[in-house]
């Protein structure tokens, strides 16, 4: 008399894997975001652009090239002046500053139409 061989029914497992694969295919394109970048074309120009450092201290105090900025309206005015030149604005936030404060400064630069902006942590 022959005994039945034990086997695992893999049909439900394959069904679950196919459903997960379909969900992955459907949701993956929706989770990717595109950022439009205007990259330079050709070799760099002769002289490097002027760099303006905007430092953000741990408590949210802003320094423009080492000078303290006491008013956000003055900061916006300086951003507007820099936007008219081909200079680079480098924002250097402290690692302990609140993200909200850095986001306010970035939004101010965006409203002033600053096109050359770099964000780097303070060492």
Each residue's pLDDT tens digit, 64-91 = 999 999 899 999 999 999 988 888 899 9
Residue 70 lies in a domain: yes
Residue 15 lies in a domain: no
The CATH number that applies at residue 101 is 3.30.420.270
Q: What is the mean pLDDT of residues 48-59?
A: 88
pLDDT averaged over the chain?
A: 86
Residue 1 lies in a domain: no
Residue 32 lies in a domain: no
State the pLDDT at residue 80: 92
Residue 95 lies in a domain: yes
- Beta sheet of 88-93, edge-to-edge order: 67-69, 62-64, 51-56, 88-93, 117-119
Burial 87-118 (b: 16+ CB within 10 A, else e): bbbebbbbeebeeebbebbbebbeebebebbe
pLDDT at 31 over 60: no
Residue 14 lies in a domain: no
Q: What is the mean pLDDT of residues 85-105?
A: 90
Residue 62 lies in a domain: yes
State the pLDDT at residue 79: 93
| 98, 58 contact by CB (below 8 A) | no
Residue 121's pLDDT band (boundaries 50, 70, 90)?
confident
Residue 123's pLDDT band (boundaries 50, 70, 90)?
low
Residue 102 lies in a domain: yes
Number of domains in the chain: 1
Which range of residues forms the domain containing residue 67? 51-119
């Amino acid at each position: 008399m022959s005994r039945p061989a034990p086997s695992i029914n893999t049909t439900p497992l394959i069904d679950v894997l196919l459903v997960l694969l379909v969900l992955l295919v459907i949701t993956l394109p929706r989770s990717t975001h595109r950022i439009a970048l205007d990259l330079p074309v050709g070799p760099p120009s002769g002289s490097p652009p002027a760099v303006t450092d905007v430092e953000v201290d741990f408590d949210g105090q802003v320094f423009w090239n080492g000078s303290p900025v006491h008013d956000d309206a003055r900061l916006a005015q300086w951003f507007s002046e820099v936007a008219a030149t081909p200079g680079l604005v480098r924002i250097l936030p402290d690692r302990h500053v609140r993200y909200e404060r850095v986001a306010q400064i970035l939004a101010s630069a965006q409203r002033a139409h600053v096109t050359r902006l770099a964000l780097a942590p303070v060492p």
